Structure 1
């Protein structure tokens, strides 16, 4: 019973991490640059995200534009984009294997070797 409770806690934490990774990937606030001149009217805040960049004027108006090309991104954001996509894919696979290999599911209960294999893959 304790083992099943720990598996459920791990599964819930994995789902929370998966959702957090998706939200982090979607936010445009990866790199923030503020241009404040001598006049407050010319102030701008530029947000560079993984998928778009946004410019916020001092009036509060925000304009966002999706990147036209992958090459338009700086190298640090290109690397972050690749790593975040890999993190989303790996966490989704972990959640699927966690459901299939958990003690609280009857997935392929007739084949104990497959269930043991899935448990070992879930640890990885």
Structure 2
């Protein structure tokens, strides 16, 4: 098998894992409408992430808090998104590590073991991409719901998508592509391995004459 799909899958999942980590810790999952805020509150703006939310009432001044509540008091959907992003990052790391053992430059494993390592890495990459995609899409749906909520139509400002969501979408797409390359481009390869192929050997003719079926004393 060519090493190109394996290397491409490894590079993509490595980039995607970095994106998962950035998306998880970045605080700008959503931010308020800056133009509307400037019209009503001057330079005031607000951003929120999974772990922290910050406001800037004046230029150069930023006030942040960890939602000022115990873990049990945080909304359940936010806890679910945290868990999904942490799992996505872990799966991305495990996928990259597993794919390393499937590269052609690793001489300590057989071809069949390399194929299995790539398949495991591909499945983990698909899981990581699906988890990240679900988390950021779920959060985006919450932002859209609040933006068009009739009860908040007269609000002073509304939240819109933050840059972390776009990083998450791109990272999940890269992880899914990586998973497809690693899981599908290795199908049917172990059957072509000569080490596991049975070779038929025809019986050899004996140089000695055949023995008679009757024995004499």
Task: Say yes or no: TM over 0.5.
Answer: yes
- CA RMSD, Structure 1 to Structure 2 (Å): 2.6
Equivalent-residue separation in structure 1 for 2:24 and 2:120 (angstroms): 26
Equivalent-residue separation in structure 2 for 1:94 and 1:69 (angstroms): 33
| Cα 1:12–1:116 shift into 2, 3 Å | closer
Q: Does the 8 Å contact 2:99/2:121 carry over to 1?
A: yes
Equivalent-residue separation in structure 2 for 1:89 and 1:77 (angstroms): 19
- Answer 1 or 2: higher relative contact order, Cα 8 Å, separation at least 6: 2
Q: Tell me which protein shows more strand as a share of its residues.
A: 1
Q: Does the 8 Å contact 1:47/1:55 carry over to 2?
A: yes
Match of 2:28 in 1: 29
Equivalent-residue separation in structure 1 for 2:49 and 2:75 (angstroms): 10
Query: How many positions carry a matched residue from both structures?
Result: 120
TM-score (structure 2 length as normaliser): 0.47
Equivalent-residue separation in structure 1 for 2:89 and 2:116 (angstroms): 23
Match of 1:89 in 2: 90
Equivalent-residue separation in structure 2 for 1:8 and 1:46 (angstroms): 41
The structure with the largest alpha-carbon Rg is 2
Cα deviation code 1:22-76 (max 9, x no counterpart): 11111111232468497535x6322221111111113341112234522343333
Give 5+ residue unaligned stretches, structure 2.
124-217
Equivalent-residue separation in structure 2 for 1:116 and 1:78 (angstroms): 36
TM-score (structure 1 length as normaliser): 0.77
Match of 1:66 in 2: 66
